[in-house]
Structure 1
Amino acid sequence: MTFQDLVSTPSTFPSWIKRIPGRNAGSSGPSKGAIVVFPHAGAAAASYRALASALAAGADTYIVQYPQRADRLNEPAHETVHDLALGLFEAGPWGSVAPLRLFGHSMGAVVAFEFARVAEERGVAVQKLWASAGPPPCVVAEMPELPTSNDEVLAELADLGGTDPELLADEEFSELLATAMRADYEAFNRYEPSPDIRVGTDIHVLGGRDDHRIAIEVLRLWARHTAGSYELSLYDGGHFYLYDHVDSVAAQVNADA
């Protein structure tokens, strides 16, 4: 970390980075660092509260909030996924809670990967990246552009699952959700990573056996993006398998501290 990095690093986290205190706080053992959770496209931090609470059994857990939703509703969206990750990193004193374990689901896995790149460049220790049901950077160039019109975005949400259909039927809620998801999809569409880009930290990939959006063969390609070790764990379920396995996934992450 350079002197300029130290000067520009904030001393506290903003209110939109949600902290769930670790239940091992105050123990006499060595610090286990912190876990940082990166939501999927369109999601607010609140939708990952259950996972973060389970992860807090092992360490302080932070859920980041992207712009264009909740308490960042009026903040402008970032141009690309990398810019989003950079903004999230520069918003808080991550070095003070390192080493970090990063957990991202779906697009959040890609945001977490870019966050790891920034952290490593700035000298902040990343212990492991947990990439859940997300596309590895090497396939991004081959992916069709994600939809960005309201109707297309809402159809995409219905196809993905993971959102209560009754909520999607609510006009006000669906408009807010579409705004957030459109911002994230536009940032992803502008993301142009090198297929050979890598981080130094280990990557552990998680996925659903019946995920019709991200095939198991695609999940295996995450191995190209680490100079460390690579592991793959599969759970029963589709793209949002995570909702049915919160405790099991949290236990797996916490056991790896």
Structure 2
Amino acid sequence: MAMDTRSSWLRRYETEAPPRMRLLCLPHAGGSAGFFHKWRAAFGDDVEVLAARYAGRQERIAEEPLTDLEEIADAISADLLPYLDVPLAIFGHSMGAAVGYEIAIRLQARHHVVPELLMVSCCKAPHLRTPREAGFGTDEELLAEVVRLGGTDAVLLEDPDLRELILPAIRADFTAVARYNARHGVPLACPVVGYVGDNDPDITAAHVAGWADIAPKGFDFRVLPGGHFYLVDQRDALVEDIRARLAPQR
């Protein structure tokens, strides 16, 4: 693993040899780069994993977290530029999927770079989203929402000291998601793959299947057992599916 001094926004898991491809992994609201630590060598010796390091957590705990999803996408897109010497694939979970969509748009519009693949997990298609006022006004309401959705963050929040440290980042991310006003009808220049858990309390298969409307280069879709954080228990199945999609075409 390398903390590349070129980037405050990316954690880089270097391959021994020069990579054939890079995979950018974007965490959920309240999540951190560490969520993808077990993915660091999961896709072969020639696929280098980059994990987004959102402000306000882990090594960046002292920094003010951003509350605008497009500002997050702007910052990560800028830090990605030195890594575009090989093809790039993008995987984002929940909020990370929306960030990934915005990054893909920026790369194709501003830098004439088209990702090899955008993989979106447990996230409504952009044109199905509606911005809303950020809810969960009290800490208790916000904590209840995190617990409802499940995932590893809910366990961390049981510790009062950890809760005090990470709650500001969670609140900032939930605010960014609530305020996000996605561009309607902007087609992607790359293929898209959607993933969802069959028991997600909020995101349905139809919500994710809607990405097909803005994926003229192709869309595929998988439903896996589990809720909003299906990718914790179904990590092996998901990783195997992604590995197959990133494999060299013969």
1:162 correspondence with 2:155: no
Letter in 2 for 1:17: L
Q: Please give the residue correspondences for 1:7-22 in structure 2 after superposition, counting only pairs within 5 Å.
A: 13-14=6-7, 16-22=9-15
Q: 1:93–1:12: structure 2 CA closer, same or farther, 3 Å change rule?
A: farther
Corresponding residue of 2:94: 106
Structure 2 residue 226 is the aligned partner of structure 1 residue 233: no
Q: How many aligned residue pairs are there?
A: 242
> What one-letter code is carried by the residue in structure 2 that aligns with 1:243?
V
**Secondary structure of the structure 1 residue equivalent to 2:56:** coil
2:25 pairs with 1:32:
no
RMSD of equivalent CA atoms: 2.3
Taking the TM superposition and a 5 Å limit, the aligned residue runs for 1:45-84 are 45-55=33-43, 57=45, 59-84=47-72
Q: Of residues 203, 209, 224 in structure 2, which corresponds to 1:214?
A: 203
- Under a length normalisation based on structure 2, what TM-score does the superposition of the two structures give? 0.87
**CA gap 1:157/1:60 in 2 versus in 1, 3 angstroms:** same
Q: How does 1:58-207 map to 2 (within 5 A)?
A: 59-121=47-109, 122-141=111-130, 145-163=134-152, 166-207=155-196
Distance across 2 between alignment mates of 1:148 and 1:184: 14
Q: In structure 1, which of residues 234, 248, 254 is the aligned counterpart of residue 243 of structure 2?
A: 254
Query: How far apart are residue 18 of structure 1 and its match?
Result: 1.3
Superposed CA deviations along residues 97-146 of structure 1, whole A, max 9, x for unmatched, are: 43110000111111111111111121223000000111221122166744
Gapped regions of structure 2 (runs ≥ 5): none
User: Quick one: distance in 2 between partners of 1:16 and 1:251?
Assistant: 26
Amino acid in the other structure paired with 2:87: P
State the partner residue of 2:29. Answer: 41
**What is the letter of the counterpart of residue 250 of structure 1?**
V
Out of 68-77 and 198-207, give the one that drifted further: 68-77
Distance 1:225 1:102 in 2: 16
1:184 and 1:165, CA in 2 relative to 1: closer, same or farther beyond 3 A?
Answer: closer
Question: What is the letter of the counterpart of residue 92 of structure 2?
Answer: G
Q: Map Cα deviations across residues 163-213 of structure 1 (whole Å, 9 max, x no partner).
A: 265532211111223211111111122211232122211100011111112
Q: Is the 8 Å Cα contact of residues 148 and 182 (structure 1) preserved in structure 2?
A: no
- Secondary structure of the corresponding residue to residue 136 of structure 2: coil
In 1, Cα distance between the equivalents of 2:181 and 2:118? 20
CA contact (8 A) 2:134 2:179 kept: no
User: 2:114·2:189 contact (CA, 8 Å) conserved in 1?
Assistant: no
The TM-score with structure 1 as length reference comes to 0.85
Any unmatched runs of 5+ in structure 1?
Answer: 1-10
Structure 1, residues 189-241: CA drift from partner, whole Å, max 9, x if none? 22112321222111000111111121111111111222310111111111111
Letter in 1 for 2:225: D
For residues 136 and 146 of structure 1, the distance between their equivalents in structure 2, rounded to whole angstroms, comes to 21
SS in 2 for 1:222: helix
Query: Structure 1 segments of 4 or more deviating over 6 A?
Result: none
Q: Distance in 1 between matches of 2:119 and 2:146?
A: 23
